[in-house]
Structure 1
Amino acid sequence: MKGYTKPLLVIFLVLLADQALKTWIKTNMYLGQEFKIIGQWFIIHFTENNGMAFGMEFGGEFGKLALSLFRIAAVGGIGYGLHYLIKHKYHRGLILNVALIFSGALGNIIDSVFYGKIYGYETWFHGRVVDMLYFPIAEGHFPSWIPIWGGDEFVFFRPVFNLADAAISVGVILILIFQKNYFKEDVKDDVSINSEIVED
C-alpha cells in the first residue's frame, strides 16, 4: 500500500464531503430553494441536472444511460491511470491531483447510478446529479454592439455546481499550472538516455 495512502485519503475525504453535502441538500431543501452565504456572491441553490458537469446536459433517456455508462468507463480509466502513476512513482502532486479528478468523477457517478432509486424518482443509472454551489460574482448586460448577445444579461459565474465538480476542476487546473514540475524528471531521464546513446 506504499504510495496509496494519501491518494486514497484524498478520494475518501472528497467523496465524504461531496455526498454528505448532497444528502443534506436532498433531505433538507426543496428543488429551487436557495439561501445566501456571503451576500449576493455565494449562494446555496438546490438544483439537479441530468447531464455533465456544471449543469450541461446530454439529452433523452438513452442519452442519460449512455452518459452514466460513459462516466463509469471514464472513472475506470482514471482509476487505472492513478494506479499506474503511483506504481511508477510519478510526482506526488500529479498523483494527488489525479486523485482529486477521480474522486470528483466518482462522486457524480454515485448520483447518476444510485440517486434515482434511492430517492424514488427513477431507475438505476438514471439519477440526477445534485448541484448547489452558486457564485454570481458579477452581473450586467453585454454591450449592444456585440453580435448575437448584444444587450443580453450575463452572469459570471452562472453555472451551479457541486464539490465533485470543484474537485475535478481544481485537479485539472493544478495539473495545467504545474505540469512542468510534474514531468520535468521524466524529461531529464529521456535526455540522459539519449545522451548515453549518442556517446556510445
Structure 2
Amino acid sequence: MATRNIYYKSKTGILHWLGLAIAIVLLDQISKIWISHILHYGQAIRITSFFNLILVYNEGAAFSFLASQSGWQRYFFTAISILAVVVIVYLLKKHAHQRLFCLSLALILGGAIGNLIDRSLYGHVIDFLDVHAMGWHWPTFNIADCGITIGAVLFIIDELKRVRKS
C-alpha cells in the first residue's frame, strides 16, 4: 500500500519565487539608475502621444499619499515595507506550491523591496513612467509599482478562484 509523503516538496520552491522577486528588484533599480542618468529632476521626454518618461520623486506612498508631510512618512512606509517583506517571505515558504498565489506575492515582494531601497537610500521613491490618455493622467510610477500592481491583481484573481472552488 502506497503512503503519501507529507514532506513532498514541489518543484517550484521558495527559491524560484525569491529569484523572481530579485529579478523585479534588479530591473527596477537598473531602470531607476538609467533614468536618473539621462534626465534631470522634472525633465520629460515624450515617447508617444500617451506616454512620457519624466523623473520625479515621491516622498509618500501610492499616488503620492502623505507626500506633503514633514518627513515622518519615510520611516512609517519603510517600517510597513519591512513588515510586508517578512510576511510575504513567510507566506512564500509556507505556500511555495501554490503557483498563482506565490507569483502574485513574488511580484509584490520585488516591488516592495525596490521601493524600500529607494526610500532607504534617498528618502523618496524614484518614479518615471508617465501615462496619460483621453483626459486621464495617471500618477507617475516605476517598475516596482508595476510589480506591486500586477501582483495585487493576480492575488485578487487567485482569491476569487479559491472562493469559487469552495
- TM-score interval (norm. to shorter): 0.7 to 0.9
Aligned equivalent of 1:94:
101
Equivalent residue, structure 1, for 2:125: 129
More off after superposition, 48-57 vs 161-170: 48-57
- For the residue of structure 2 that corresponds to 1:136, the secondary structure is strand
TM-score, structure 1 normalization: 0.70
Q: 1:157 to 1:78 in 2, by over 3 A?
A: farther
Question: Which structure ranks higher in relative contact order (CA pairs < 8 Å, sequence separation ≥ 6)?
Answer: 2
How far is the alpha carbon of 1:161 from its aligned partner? 0.5
Runs of 4+ in 1 over 6 A off after TM superposition: none
- What is the DSSP-based 3-state SS (H/G/I as helix, E as strand, rest coil) of the residue aligned with 2:53? strand
Match of 1:54 among 59, 63, 80: 63
The aligned counterpart of 2:41 is 31
TM-score after normalising by structure 2: 0.83
Q: CA deviation at 1:181?
A: 3.2
1:69 corresponds to 2:79 = yes
Consecutive unaligned residues of structure 2, counting only runs of 5 or more, are 1-8
Name the CA distance, whole Å, in 2 between partners of 1:101 and 1:95: 10
Unaligned stretches of 5+ in structure 1?
117-126, 140-155, 188-200
Is 1:85 matched with 2:95? yes
Q: Quick one: which amino acid aligns to residue 64 of structure 2?
A: G
Tell me how far apart the structure 2 counterparts of residues 98 and 130 of structure 1 sit (CA, whole Å).
Answer: 22
Q: Distance in 1 between matches of 2:120 and 2:145?
A: 17
- Residue type at the aligned position of 1:162: N
Matches of 1:180 and 1:65, distance apart in 2? 34
Q: Distance in 1 between matches of 2:124 and 2:160?
A: 38
Contact 1:55 1:160 in 2 (8 A): no
Larger Rg: 1
* Greater Cα offset, 28-37 or 176-185: 176-185
Please tell me whether residue 16 in structure 1 is matched to residue 26 in structure 2: yes
**Which amino acid letter does the alignment assign opposite residue 55 of structure 1?**
S
Deviation of 1:71 (Å): 1.8
Q: CA RMSD in A?
A: 2.0
